[in-house]
């Protein structure tokens, strides 16, 4: 890791373990030079090729526009000659939009700054370093501070932008993106994550044609449909080989990530807050901070990109709101949630009965989901009325929690603080607290509206209600849900010329409330959720170590969802549960054992009525909870490898996790569909020590091997990685569809 500045050449160079990044000052413009595999030379200005034709203003100012429309800018602006999509578009009081940023100053220092009011990566002076470059528009006085940070041992660069109005007049910011990367196109392909409710983060890979290719959200959340991540890859890139440029946006609201292929066959990659529906009024001396973008380069395929994201998020993002939270670096309690068990039909007696049975089987926490407050008997009412319904919770919340604690279980609770039901005491008292366009009938989704969290008095009131509940009993877990996107964007409190700030101010209000929760209840485990996985993004991980991955708990559907999610996020962040069958979303029946194998690649828990499931299934739970504790440290901290993909082959799925010291590994193999008359499947493992011997253990008789006299399979790491293991899918232990097994490797 290192950041340097060559004063004579006016070039900045950022080195991580295996990558280099460079930008340079050219006639006061800040221009991109290089991003890729690590290089030794510092003065590489020739890579810009800007003097191939006399288009630079110093040589040929009559063609300044040609220069502006083709140069590789580090932070491009709009309105002065660059016709590609830019990062910054402003509007003056006179209605003019042009802006041109010139270099002013820079500084390099140890450590990593915090973004005020926003989630951001964190580091110390010992493990991180930052470059700040100051640019300014001479006419308007707008100053842009570009920030680049790196961390020891991680191939990632974190970028953000802060704007300050040092002029005399108000400026409107109509586009403020956080990062740009201008590079030559080498027939790259684009990988993004797409989906919908119950099928989030499916991997999509397409060629990049001319024009603009984008993923975005205008739903007020990162969304089920698109995801704030994209990657450029070579055509031949796989999990193990090829060049990868990955971009992840640390934000939970509207976003835009796009790639534009220009007339010169170059690519411009930009990420940031979606300009659609956004405008920010910046008065004299005021500032605006844009969220962070994480950039990762890998020359060794998608797995290495994944490892960089996982390590960065684990060590420098998760629980940044309260780094002392005990769940940041430790295993999470195995919980059972009553939602799919009871939906709204529960009371104190029913919950205690579930708790007693759960305690017998190694489950460690009971979570009471929706339906415990106000007159909430369905999803049509009472959101905002955060007081306990003692007709349902007989004896009160403290009595219930105490009884559950007596069973040996912790207690958790579900809340949806951002929402308000039309049929609620809160709405009848404060109808203007809902986001709405005055005079227009607002759109209902799930028969609810969204509270205007851009208003401090609303955030304060809702937080005070939630805080009273959490203080009233020994509550050790909160599931924070958000079940609809934002529509009818209007605030009764914002002025006419600041209505465009609502989306972002709303998100800042959510972040403020979660920060207060982290400060006031440092021992609570917070799990974020949004109708499943609609807000599974880096921004939320700053406040919570895990997020509910998807409302679809079917084990086979989860294989595809979890593959896309784990491409970017550590396994321990994914809320994954064993649920009942037929599955409540797709109606599929899968073996209880297989459901446990799939949920192991996540936080692990149960979503069922343990008092009603078949006895054979219930008898497996104790073994599953022991399995979780045996492997959780490895799952939580190890390096993740994708061995085979059901999404690609439609037959089987195989993943591997290897401890950082390479002494242990666990392989999960799921045979999805049976085939007749087929040979065994060869799986070549990864990440092991080539020179060390491993003992190979399997919980099923599925390996085609010759065992030693001691009835023990011993193989070197290079054999396991190059020759591999053979899975006999015709084994009686894998007979039928949807069967699975675990393979453990222990270094001798």
The pLDDT tens digits for 35-83 are 999 999 988 989 988 888 777 888 888 889 999 999 999 999 999 999 9
Same domain membership, residue 426 and residue 309: no
- Which residue among the candidates 127, 481, 554, 580 is catalytic per the annotation? 481
Report percent pLDDT > 90 for the chain: 95
Q: What is the pLDDT of residue 351?
A: 97
Question: Is 627 within the bounds of a domain?
Answer: no
Structure confidence by residue, pLDDT tens digits, 392-429: 999 999 999 999 999 999 999 999 999 999 999 999 99
Cβ neighbours, 10 Å, residue 539: 26
Same domain membership, residue 445 and residue 536: yes
Total domain count for the chain? 3
Is residue 481 part of the annotated active site? The answer reads yes
User: Does the structure show a pLDDT above 80 at 710?
Assistant: no
Among residues 101, 280, 97, 92, the alpha carbon closest in space to that of 180 is found at: 101
3-state secondary structure of 74: coil
Mean pLDDT rounded to a whole number for the chain = 96
Answer whether 503's CB lies under 8 Å from 277's CB: yes
User: Does the structure show a pLDDT above 60 at 2?
Assistant: yes
Q: What is the pLDDT of residue 655?
A: 98
Question: Is 608 within the bounds of a domain?
Answer: no
Same domain membership, residue 365 and residue 230: no
Question: Is 631 within the bounds of a domain?
Answer: no
Distance set, CA 214 to CA 70, 226, 582 (Å): 20, 10, 37
- Which residue among the candidates 82, 311, 551, 653 is catalytic per the annotation? 551
User: Does the structure show a pLDDT above 60 at 708?
Assistant: no
Q: What is the pLDDT of residue 152?
A: 97
Same domain membership, residue 301 and residue 189: yes
For 14, the token pair is 């950022």
Same domain membership, residue 537 and residue 448: yes
**Over residues 549-568, mean pLDDT:** 98
Of 548, 567, 591, the one marking the end of a domain is 548
Looking at the DSSP bridge assignments, the partners of residue 173 are 90, 280
Structure confidence by residue, pLDDT tens digits, 447-472: 999 999 999 999 999 999 999 999 99
Cβ neighbours, 10 Å, residue 6: 14
Report percent pLDDT > 70 for the chain: 99
Answer whether 536's CB lies under 8 Å from 575's CB: no
Q: What is the pLDDT of residue 677?
A: 86
Burial readout 215-241 (b: 16 or more C-beta within 10 A, e: otherwise):
bbbbbbbbbbbbbbbbbbbbeebebeb
Contacts of 348 (CB under 8 A, 6+ apart): 392, 393, 394, 395, 399, 400, 403
Q: Evaluate the omega torsion of the peptide bond into residue 256 and state whether it is cis, within 30 degrees of 0.
A: no
Looking at the DSSP bridge assignments, the partners of residue 217 are 255
pTM equals: 0.97
Among residues 21, 29, 1, 25, the alpha carbon closest in space to that of 11 is found at: 25
**Over residues 156-180, mean pLDDT:** 98
Classify the C-alpha dihedral 192-216-282-97 as positive or negative.
positive
Classify the C-alpha dihedral 10-14-20-23 as positive or negative.
negative
Domain of 692: which CATH number? Answer: 2.60.40.1180
Q: What is the pLDDT of residue 667?
A: 98
Question: Is 466 within the bounds of a domain?
Answer: yes
Distance set, CA 8 to CA 5, 32, 133, 136, 143 (Å): 9, 17, 17, 21, 24
Same domain membership, residue 222 and residue 176: yes
Q: What is the pLDDT of residue 539?
A: 98
Domain of 28: which CATH number? Answer: 2.70.98.60
Same domain membership, residue 391 and residue 485: yes
Contacts 24+ apart (CB under 8 A), 308-313: 308/154, 308/155, 308/156, 308/246, 309/156, 309/246, 309/248, 309/568, 309/569, 310/569, 310/570, 310/639, 310/640, 311/153, 311/154, 312/121, 312/151, 312/154, 312/156, 313/538, 313/541, 313/569, 313/570, 313/573
Of 548, 570, 595, the one marking the end of a domain is 548
Of 530, 548, 566, the one marking the end of a domain is 548
120 confidence band (pLDDT: 50, 70, 90): very high
Structure confidence by residue, pLDDT tens digits, 262-276: 999 999 999 999 999
Answer whether 271's CB lies under 8 Å from 247's CB: yes
Classify the C-alpha dihedral 610-613-619-624 as positive or negative.
negative
Answer whether 301's CB lies under 8 Å from 217's CB: no
3-state secondary structure of 344: coil
Classify the C-alpha dihedral 509-515-520-521 as positive or negative.
positive
Among residues 242, 222, 221, the alpha carbon closest in space to that of 232 is found at: 242
Output the CA angle 588-591-597, nearest 5 degrees: 110
Question: Is 609 within the bounds of a domain?
Answer: no
**Over residues 609-627, mean pLDDT:** 96
Q: What is the pLDDT of residue 53?
A: 76
Question: Is 329 within the bounds of a domain?
Answer: no
Say how many Å lie between the first and final Cα of the chain, rounded. 34
* DSSP code string of 292-334: EEEEEEESB-HHHHHHHHHHHHHHHTTTTT-TT-TTSSSPPPP
User: Does the structure show a pLDDT above 60 at 7?
Assistant: yes
Chain-centre distance of CA 385, in angstroms? 30
Same domain membership, residue 380 and residue 270: no
Same domain membership, residue 341 and residue 312: no
Strands 19-26 and 287-289: unpaired
CA distance 549 to 540: 12
**Over residues 688-693, mean pLDDT:** 97
Stretch (H or E) spanning 156: strand 156-165
CA distance 151 to 272: 22
Same domain membership, residue 232 and residue 158: yes
Classify the C-alpha dihedral 232-237-243-244 as positive or negative.
positive
**Over residues 621-645, mean pLDDT:** 97
Structure confidence by residue, pLDDT tens digits, 172-191: 999 999 999 999 999 999 99
3-state secondary structure of 184: strand
Question: Is 172 within the bounds of a domain?
Answer: yes
User: Does the structure show a pLDDT above 60 at 633?
Assistant: yes
Q: What is the pLDDT of residue 58?
A: 85
Which structural domain, as residue segments, surrounds residue 406?
A: 335-548
Domain of 429: which CATH number? Answer: 3.20.20.70
User: What is the torsion angle, in degrees rounded to the nearest 10, for the CA atoms of residue 438, residue 440, residue 445 and residue 450?
Assistant: 0
Same domain membership, residue 177 and residue 57: yes
Stretch (H or E) spanning 193: strand 189-194
For 624, the token pair is 């599953």
Q: What is the pLDDT of residue 1?
A: 82
Same domain membership, residue 150 and residue 25: yes
CA distance 202 to 86: 28
Answer whether 670's CB lies under 8 Å from 594's CB: yes
User: Does the structure show a pLDDT above 90 at 307?
Assistant: yes
User: Does the structure show a pLDDT above 60 at 709?
Assistant: no
Question: Is 596 within the bounds of a domain?
Answer: no
**Over residues 483-504, mean pLDDT:** 98
């Amino acid at each position: 890791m290192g950041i340097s500045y060559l004063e004579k050449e006016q070039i900045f160079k950022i080195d991580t373990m295996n990558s280099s990044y460079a930008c340079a000052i050219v006639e006061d413009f800040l221009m991109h030079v290089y991003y890729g595999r690590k290089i030794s030379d510092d003065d590489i200005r020739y890579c810009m090729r800007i003097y191939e034709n006399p288009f630079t203003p110093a040589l040929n100012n009559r063609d300044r526009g040609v220069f502006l429309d083709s140069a590789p800018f580090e932070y491009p602006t709009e309105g002065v000659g660059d016709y590609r999509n830019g990062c910054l578009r402003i509007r003056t009081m006179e209605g003019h939009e042009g802006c041109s940023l010139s270099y002013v100053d820079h500084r390099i220092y140890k450590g990593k700054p915090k973004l005020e009011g926003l989630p951001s990566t964190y580091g110390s002076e010992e493990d991180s370093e930052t470059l700040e470059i100051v640019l300014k528009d001479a006419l308007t006085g707008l100053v842009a501070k570009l920030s680049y940070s790196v961390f020891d041992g991680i191939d990632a660069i974190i970028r953000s932008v802060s704007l300050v109005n040092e002029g005399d007049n108000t400026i409107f910011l109509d586009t403020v993106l956080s990062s740009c990367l201008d590079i030559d196109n080498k027939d790259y392909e684009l990988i993004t994550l797409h989906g919908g409710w119950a099928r989030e983060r499916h991997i999509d890979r397409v060629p990049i044609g001319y024009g603009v290719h984008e993923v975005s959200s205008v739903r007020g959340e990162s969304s089920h449909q698109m995801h704030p991540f994209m990657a450029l890859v070579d055509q031949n890139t796989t999990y193990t080989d090829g060049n990868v440029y990955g971009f992840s946006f640390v934000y939970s609201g509207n976003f835009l990530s796009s790639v534009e292929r220009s007339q010169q066959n170059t690519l411009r990659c930009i990420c940031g807050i979606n300009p659609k529906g956004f405008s920010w009024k910046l008065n004299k001396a005021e500032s605006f901070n844009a969220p962070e973008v994480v950039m990762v380069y890998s020359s060794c395929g998608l797995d290495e990109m994944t490892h960089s994201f996982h390590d960065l998020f684990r060590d420098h993002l998760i629980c940044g709101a309260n780094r002392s939270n005990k769940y940041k670096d430790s295993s999470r309690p195995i919980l059972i949630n009553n939602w799919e068990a009871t939906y709204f039909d529960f009371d104190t007696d029913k919950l205690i009965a579930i708790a007693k049975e759960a305690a017998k089987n190694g489950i460690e926490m009971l979570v009471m989901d929706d339906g415990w407050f106000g007159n909430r008997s369905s999803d049509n009412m009472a959101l905002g009325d955060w007081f306990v319904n003692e007709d349902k919770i007989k004896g009160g919340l403290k009595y219930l929690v105490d009884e559950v604690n007596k069973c040996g279980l912790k207690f958790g609770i579900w809340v949806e603080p951002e929402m308000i039901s039309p049929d609620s005491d809160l709405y009848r008292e404060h109808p203007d607290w809902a986001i709405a366009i005055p005079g227009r009938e607002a759109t209902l989704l799930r028969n609810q509206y969204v509270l205007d969290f851009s208003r401090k008095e609303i955030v304060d009131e809702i937080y005070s209600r939630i805080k009273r509940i959490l203080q009233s009993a020994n509550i050790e877990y909160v599931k924070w849900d958000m079940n609809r996107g934002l529509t009818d964007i209007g605030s009764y409190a914002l002025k006419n010329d600041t209505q465009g700030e609502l989306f972002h101010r709303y998100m800042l209000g959510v972040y403020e409330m979660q920060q207060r929760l982290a400060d006031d209840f440092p021992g609570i485990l917070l799990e974020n959720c949004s109708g499943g996985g609609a807000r599974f993004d880096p921004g939320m991980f700053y406040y919570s170590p895990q997020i509910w991955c998807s409302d679809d708990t079917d084990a086979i559907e989860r294989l595809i969802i979890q593959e896309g999610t784990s491409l970017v996020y550590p396994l321990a962040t994914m809320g994954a549960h064993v649920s009942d069958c037929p599955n409540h979303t797709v109606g599929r029946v899968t073996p209880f054992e297989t459901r446990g194998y799939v949920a192991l690649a996540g936080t692990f828990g149960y979503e069922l009525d343990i008092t009603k499931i078949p006895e054979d299934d219930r008898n497996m739970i104790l073994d599953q909870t022991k399995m979780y504790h045996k492997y959780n440290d490895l799952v939580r901290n190890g390096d993740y490898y994708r061995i085979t993909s059901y999404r690609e082959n439609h037959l089987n799925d195989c993943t591997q996790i290897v401890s950082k010291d390479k002494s242990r590994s666990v392989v999960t193999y799921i045979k999805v569909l049976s085939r007749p008359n087929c040979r065994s499947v060869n799986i070549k493992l990864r990440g092991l020590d080539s020179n060390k011997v491993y003992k190979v253990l399997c919980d099923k008789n599925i390996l085609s091997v010759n065992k030693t006299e001691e009835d023990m399979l011993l193989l070197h790491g290079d054999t396991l990685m190059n020759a591999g293991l053979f899975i006999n899918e015709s084994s009686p232990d894998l007979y039928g569809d949807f069967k699975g097994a675990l393979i453990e490797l222990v270094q001798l």
